[in-house]
Amino acid sequence: MFKKRETVVYPIHGVGKIVDKFEADQDDKREYLKIEFFDDPLVVSIPSDNAESLGLRYPISKNKMSSILKKLGKTVRVSKNIATAADSLSEEKLGSGKFSDAIEVVNMLLALKKKKEEEDRILGYTLRGHLESAMKFVKSEVKVVLGEDRVKKYDLRVS
């Protein structure tokens, strides 16, 4: 399904390009995809036959992205349940590789961060890392689908 030189999205890491298709060695006849990411020096190789189940996908359409981006910044009510489950929920949603899930993580963690600040507390290290990962993931796909100039429109910084 996926071909060399195609632009793809991989969970957590964001958008990259398939730079090679190869067999690992003579004993392992499986074909692998080598992906280099645009905004990250990371390179990953994943089995071609498992690519979709690992969350590899093509970037979403401009229309779908514009629709989902309307939800960015949506107010999220932070309950005790959300605060308690934020870590596992963030990991699950970021692991899905879905753009809409990453937007939900951003909204949830920004709301939790705001609530903590109101209590003179800070967002924990792990959740801050999830927030930064979600924002980086969103930015990478926005940049590819809508263009660099549109990235600046959406304030995706952890301050």
The model's pLDDT over 16-68, given as tens digits with 9 standing for 90+, comes to: 999 999 987 777 788 999 999 998 899 999 999 999 999 999 999 999 999 99
Quote the CA–CA distance of 14 and 7 in Å, as a whole number: 10
**Domains of the chain, residue spans:** 7-50, 62-151
pLDDT, residue 79, reads 84
Sorted by sequence, the CB contacts under 8 Å of residue 11 that are 6+ apart come out as 54, 55, 94, 95, 96, 97
Nearest to 78 by CA among 38, 114, 29: 114
pLDDT tens per residue across span 58-106: 999 999 999 999 999 888 888 888 878 999 999 999 999 999 999 999 9
Q: Does domain 62-151 have CATH number 1.10.3470?
A: no
